[in-house]
Structure 1
Amino acid sequence: MRLEVFCEDRLGLTRELLDLLVLRGIDLRGIEIDPIGRIYLNFAELEFESFSSLMAEIRRIAGVTDVRTVPWMPSEREHLALSALLEALPEPVLSVDMKSKVDMANPASCQLFGQNWIACATIPPHN
C-alpha cells in the first residue's frame, strides 16, 4: 500500500507520520519526500478498518492537507518509465557501474553482443 500525503513544510511532521505507523505496528517499506509538500509512504496492505482509521489519524496531523492512496512511489514510477523507454529504443544502450559491471542493458544491446535477454543482464565485469 502506498500513500501520498499532501502537507505543509513543517519541522517534525514526518516524525509524527512515522510515529503513527510505529504505534500501529506497521512496518515501513519505503518513504520518499518531495520538496513541493508531499510525503510518500510504502507499507504492507492493511485491513479496511485499520486503513480507514489510519487515514483519519493522518488527516488530523497539523500541517497535513490531504492523504490518498497511489499505485506507485515516485521512484517506482520513474523506474518503470525508464525501463519501458529502454526496452522500446532501437539503439543499443548499456549502463555500467563503477566496477564496470553492466547494470542495465536493453534488448538492442543484447542483440548487438549476441546475448539473450537474461544472459545479457549477467555480463561479468572486466578490467
Structure 2
Amino acid sequence: MQLILHHYAMSPFAQKIRSMLGYAGLPWQSAIAREMPPRPVVAQRAAGTAAMGRKARQTMSWLDLGRVLLNRINMGRKAELGIAGLREARPLVLAHLAEVESQLQREFLFGTAPSHADFSTWHGLLEGRDSA
C-alpha cells in the first residue's frame, strides 16, 4: 500500500510526518493541498471521515451521544493542568529545554534509535525557533 500525504508545503506538522516517513524509509506520495479552503482533494478525502461520523450517529442513541459530550466537557473542567501565563511560561520553557538538553547527551531521547518523542521534540523546537 502506498501512503499519500495530503499536505501543504509549509505545514510544520507535515514536516514532522515527512521526516518520520523518510527516517523509516517508507515510500509515500505527496498530494499538495492549498493552505486555505477550498481544498477540493482534501474535502473529498474528508468525506470518508464525515461518513464515519454519520455511521456513529446512526448506531448510537442521542442519550449515548449526550453522555460522550458530557464526559468530554467534564474532562476539561476537571483537568489539573492550567494554561501558564506569560510570566510563568518562560521559566517552564527554560526548564523543559534544559531537561531536553540533558537527555540529548545520549544519541536520542530514549535510547539508541529515534522514537516519536524525538520527532515531536524536534517539531516543537522548530516551531519555537520559527516563532521566536
Q: Which structure features the higher share of strand residues?
A: 1
Query: Fold match, TM over 0.5?
Result: no
With normalisation by structure 2, the TM-score equals 0.22
With normalisation by structure 1, the TM-score equals 0.23
